[in-house]
Structure 1
Amino acid sequence: MKLVVQIPCLNEEETLPLVLESIPREIPGIDEIVVLVIDDGCSDRTVEIARQHGVTEFVHHARNQGLGRSFHDGVVRALELGADIVVNTDGDNQYPQDQITNLVQPIVHGKADIVIADRQVHLVEHFSWAKKKLQKLGSRVVNRAAGTELPDAASGFRAYSRESLMVLNTITRFSYCMETIIQAGNKRLRIESIPVTTNAKTRESRLFKSTPEHVVKSGAAIVRSSLMYKPYAVFAWLTAIFGLLGLIPFVRYFVLWLGDREGGHVQSLLLGSLLLIIAFMSLMLGVISDLIRTNRILIEINLEHTKKARFGKSGTEMMRDQTSVPQFDAPMAAAKASGTARP
């Protein structure tokens, strides 16, 4: 099997050597290991240092494109290289690359399509109390949307099988972490998690400037992905909520009307009508969104076939083809061995 370890980088000249030196050179079940560096608009010596450490495969961005796009472009290049498994780690050395061996084993043995490293957030010393709680809450929300039970949904230290990457499609430029889990969960891919211990903090995160920004962007990614795969559930809830709220003013109006209270109480009718109109619009949006979801599924099936046609065979399949003898040549080979072949 062929493993590609991809490393998205943005000015990581100081920490990249630590990452490259800690990547295993031999892994049970893996025949070839390739390191792929994604240069996301680096302005320092990151690329030069990577070459000095023997890296030969790169993806270059003229300017910073974001983590989501870097992951996408790295995966495309890894598939072009014939990767059977793609491991994503970070250039800041926050993840323990020596655990890549354990990370890929469930995929090597056919027990998982995706393996996510659990950073054991409660043990990370440089995480504040608030960040630990938000990480836990975020994982709970993602698990609810994806139908999974992952302890650390925000972890970017992951291994993907070739088959899983054929059906996953990232859209957001912020971060692929939440989006790919929700997609994988709704596409019934097998996801496992293994505990790891992170390395010491080397720098501040460049993915977001503040915790509120991280919460807003992550929340937006979760909502967007949820709407893509379960729009009917979202709009059904909105329809039910506004429908019930719309009935309350009507009930109030009829109670007052039956009691012969003075006043027309038209405001109750207006408010109730407005809320019921919103409920009806939510219902219609749900129907339209579900039709769009059906169309998206058909497009994704077509995209999967396109990927398989574009990227061809994996490293394992190519090795198998090279070592196997075609069936139509087998009788001739046997005849030559016995000396009975005709000239």
Structure 2
Amino acid sequence: MKIAVLIPCYNEEPTIAKVVSDFRRELPEADVYVYDNNSRDRTAEVAAAAGAIVRREPRQGKGNVVRSMFRGIDADVYVMVDGDDTYPAEFVHDLIAPIVRGEADMVIGDRHSNGSYTKENKRPFHNFGNNLVKWLINALFHSDLRDIMTGYRAFNRLFVKNMPVASEGFEIETEMTLHALDKKFRIVEIPIDYRDRPEGSFSKLNTFSDGMRVLRTVFWIFKDYKPLAFFSTAAIVFFVLGLLVGVPVITEFIATHQIAKIPSAILAVGFMMLASISVTCGFILDTIVRQHRDVYQLLLNKTE
């Protein structure tokens, strides 16, 4: 099988040579690609000197890099890993094994099962954000994944060539997980070790801005992938608001046979109309999404 190691990079000069060398040692038959994303240091030169195939992606953001990698590289097995030397290369054999055996479409390097991420990660809000997103997605898709946002993954060709990448930034990992869950791709999680960045290497993540982007991605995918649940939730909110505003009006009318609170009555009717419209939209969009899933599965059958 042809194996490709994909390393998206932005200002990773202190670590990229070690990452490339480690993966070339573990997978000597693989092609190691480093996609430089407008680095301001010598990332590209160092990666090329270490033996990587260097390409450039001018559109800033990890999602843009992943989109270019998925479109531009042909292989049977794909390994995606960050260039910051936080993921040990020796685990790559465990990750690609389910792909090679045909047991998985995407393999996730699980940092949480052995506690290494919580121990090594020096950003407590990241741990909180990861747990929150994990809870939301598992509740939404009735799954039991342990690591939603890991940057260490393996894929088969079917997944890579049928993954529509819409994200531009670090929310790409969340998008890949959601896509795999929604489209019923086979997912396997493999426990791995995680180590914090070495001294001299700095993270590009921003806890709050990147966290908000991930939550925004989950929100929109909730709307797009589970429209009936999304709009039913909105309908319940409008219905409860309508009751809160409308019950005093109804009580007053029963007691006096008159309506003095005209604005409240109009507002209550408006909330109830919004509730009924939300339910209707939910059913219509749910039918469209179900048809889209059927068409997607038929297209997958033709590409297999």
**TM-score normalised by structure 2 residue count:** 0.87
| Correspondence 1:280 to 2:276 | yes
Within 5 Å, give how 1:1-343 maps onto structure 2. 1-23=1-23, 25=25, 32-55=29-52, 57-61=53-57, 63-79=58-74, 83-120=75-112, 123-174=118-169, 175-202=171-198, 203-206=201-204, 208-209=205-206, 211-260=207-256, 264-290=260-286, 292-293=288-289, 296-297=292-293, 300=296, 308=303
Give the partner amino acid of 2:86.
Answer: Q
What is the Cα deviation at residue 74 of structure 1?
A: 0.9
**Relative to structure 1, is the Cα distance of residues 128 and 52 closer, same or farther in structure 2, using a 3 angstrom cutoff?**
closer
- Whole-Å separation in 1 of the counterparts to 2:243 and 2:135: 33
8 Å contact from structure 1 (residues 16, 91) kept in 2: yes
8 Å contact from structure 1 (residues 4, 33) kept in 2: yes
8 Å contact from structure 1 (residues 166, 304) kept in 2: no
- Whole-Å separation in 1 of the counterparts to 2:133 and 2:42: 35
8 Å contact from structure 1 (residues 155, 177) kept in 2: yes
8 Å contact from structure 2 (residues 47, 54) kept in 1: no
Q: Which SS does the other structure have where 1:115 is aligned? A: strand
What is the Cα deviation at residue 270 of structure 1?
A: 1.8
Give the partner amino acid of 2:89.
Answer: Q
Give the partner amino acid of 1:93.
Answer: D
What is the Cα deviation at residue 124 of structure 1?
A: 3.0
What is the Cα deviation at residue 32 of structure 1?
A: 3.5
Q: Which SS does the other structure have where 1:167 is aligned? A: coil
- Whole-Å separation in 1 of the counterparts to 2:195 and 2:135: 24
Q: Which SS does the other structure have where 2:120 is aligned? A: coil
Q: Which SS does the other structure have where 2:30 is aligned? A: strand
Give the partner amino acid of 1:127.
Answer: K
What is the Cα deviation at residue 67 of structure 1?
A: 0.3
**Relative to structure 1, is the Cα distance of residues 263 and 226 closer, same or farther in structure 2, using a 3 angstrom cutoff?**
closer
- Whole-Å separation in 1 of the counterparts to 2:280 and 2:226: 15
8 Å contact from structure 2 (residues 249, 259) kept in 1: no
Report % sequence identity.
28
Moved >6 Å (runs of 4+) = none
Give the partner amino acid of 1:9.
Answer: C
- Whole-Å separation in 1 of the counterparts to 2:72 and 2:119: 33
8 Å contact from structure 1 (residues 147, 186) kept in 2: no
What is the Cα deviation at residue 68 of structure 1?
A: 0.5
Q: Please tell me the root mean square deviation across aligned C-alpha atoms, in Å.
A: 2.6
8 Å contact from structure 2 (residues 34, 47) kept in 1: yes
Residues 282-332 of structure 1, C-alpha deviation per residue, up to 9 Å, x if partnerless?
2343245335535754775687589x5xxxx9xxxxxxxxxxxxxxxxxxx
**Relative to structure 1, is the Cα distance of residues 26 and 129 closer, same or farther in structure 2, using a 3 angstrom cutoff?**
closer
- Whole-Å separation in 2 of the counterparts to 1:52 and 1:130: 37
Residues 151-193 of structure 1, C-alpha deviation per residue, up to 9 Å, x if partnerless?
1111111111112223321101023111111111111111111
What is the Cα deviation at residue 100 of structure 1?
A: 0.6
What is the Cα deviation at residue 261 of structure 1?
A: 8.5
- Whole-Å separation in 1 of the counterparts to 2:163 and 2:285: 20
- Whole-Å separation in 2 of the counterparts to 1:189 and 1:298: 14
Q: Larger C-alpha radius of gyration, 1 or 2? A: 1
**Relative to structure 1, is the Cα distance of residues 4 and 108 closer, same or farther in structure 2, using a 3 angstrom cutoff?**
same
**TM-score normalised by structure 1 residue count:** 0.78
Which consecutive unaligned segments of at least 5 residues does structure 1 have? Answer: 314-343
Give the partner amino acid of 2:231.
Answer: F
